[in-house]
Structure 1
Amino acid sequence: MSEVWMNERETRAWVAFQRMRIEVNEVLARTLTRDFGLTEADFVILLRLYNIPGLRFRARDLAAALDWERSRLSRQISRMESRGTVARAPSEGDARGYDVVLTDAGRAAFQAAWPTYVQGIRHCFADVLSPTQLDSLIDIAETIDTHFTAEHYPGGLIDTAVGGGVHTTSAGIEPCGTTDSLESAS
């Protein structure tokens, strides 16, 4: 069996992409933990719930939207319940399932962390790039996303959050609207 190699440009691009992604996420996650006592997983779930009308999400749909196994979500929700940031509630029309509900404490935790999170994104990412570079990155990401969806989800990604104004990604960290103010995200 012959080995397949990437050329130098492909290797440099892939390594640079991975390093950038890891470094930015590491800084953001460390800030969330240090300043707000939130893990990255906590924040992703709080963001999803904050942006959903009714502040609740059916657990199985939340797991699918995050591309998590249901068992991973269940363990994470148990940890967050113990801290009071989310609660479980019966799902309407699904006796075996449950909804994950954002509590007042969870909403307050998200609202406190969001401005610092956005500031971190700007500091480590957006402010470092020129408008032309940002446009190029958007084009690159959209090209890869289009390919990914066509090749791996030919019927399209199903995300019940889209109807609630949340843009779907595997990380699930896009706010509603085009601004970063909390008012636009509610």
Structure 2
Amino acid sequence: MSGPCEGDAEPCEPRWLSIEEQHLWLELREFASGLPRAIDRQLSQDSGVSGVEYAVLAAVSEAPPDGVRSGDLAALLEWEKSRVSHLLRRMECKGLVTRCAASDDGRGQDISLTGAGWDTVRAAAPGHVTLVREAIFDPLTPEELAQLRVSLQKIRTAAVEKGLW
């Protein structure tokens, strides 16, 4: 993604990473790929759902009793609507969610958990929170956690502002 230098039609020389930045980048890359794998493995073993299915179950479980619109669910999860739609179709086939025409205008869909969906999210939550606590919170001090939050927010904000995410 190297664009033209200011006032120049030639691409800029990449700003190569320093050795320290390379080490940090590799650590971050391994973390970013390892955590979702660990979450998927734990959830699959404990409750038979994937990390993305659990994310949907958790979000819908926190919605009002009449459910959540599928478009609102996509926005909440920050996923493409088509991704949510395909996942909801699979989860409906598994008996975890129900989809019905939205009560207010009939154009969208209201998503609710079935009894099996509620049972699944309730069974999955304890193991999931244990994994998250052991992987993220237990190794860090409260001060380190606060700094991690600030750092991640800064990175995310910059990425969004630059149109990277």
- TM-score category by the smaller chain? 0.7 to 0.9
Structure exhibiting the larger radius of gyration computed from Cα positions = 2
Residue in 2 that maps onto 1:73: 84
Task: Point out 4+ residue stretches in structure 1 off by more than 4 angstroms.
Answer: none
Q: Does 1:103 align with 2:114?
A: yes
Distance in 2, Cα, partners of 1:119 & 1:70: 30
Segments of structure 2 that go 5 or more residues without pairing to the other structure are 1-10
Q: Matches of 1:55 and 1:11 in 2, distance apart?
A: 49
Give me the TM-score of the superposition, normalised by structure 2: 0.81
Change (3 A) 1:96 1:55: closer
Which sections of structure 1, spanning at least 5 residues, go unmatched? 154-169, 171-186
Q: 1:40-93 deviations in whole A, cap 9, x for unaligned?
A: 111010011011122611111212222322222121111111111100011123
Written as runs of structure 1 = structure 2, the 5 A alignment for 1:59-138 is 59-138=70-149
- Please name the residue that 1:139 is paired with: 150
For 1:50 and 1:148, the matched residues in 2 are separated by: 30
- Which of 24, 34, 41 lines up with 2:45 in the alignment? 34
AA aligned opposite 2:116: A
Matched letter for residue 119 of structure 1: T
Match of 1:23 among 14, 19, 34: 34
Q: How many residues align?
A: 153
Structure 1 partner of 2:4: none
- Measured after TM superposition, the shift of residue 98 of structure 1 is 0.9
Report 1 or 2 for greater relative contact order, CA contacts < 8 Å, sequence distance ≥ 6. 1
RMSD across aligned positions (CA): 2.1
How far apart in 2 are the matches of 1:34 and 1:27? Answer: 11
Q: Residue in 2 aligned with 1:182?
A: none
Letter of the structure 1 residue corresponding to residue 147 of structure 2: S
1:50 is matched with 61
Tell me if structure 2 keeps the 8 A contact 1:49–1:55: no
TM-score (norm 1): 0.73
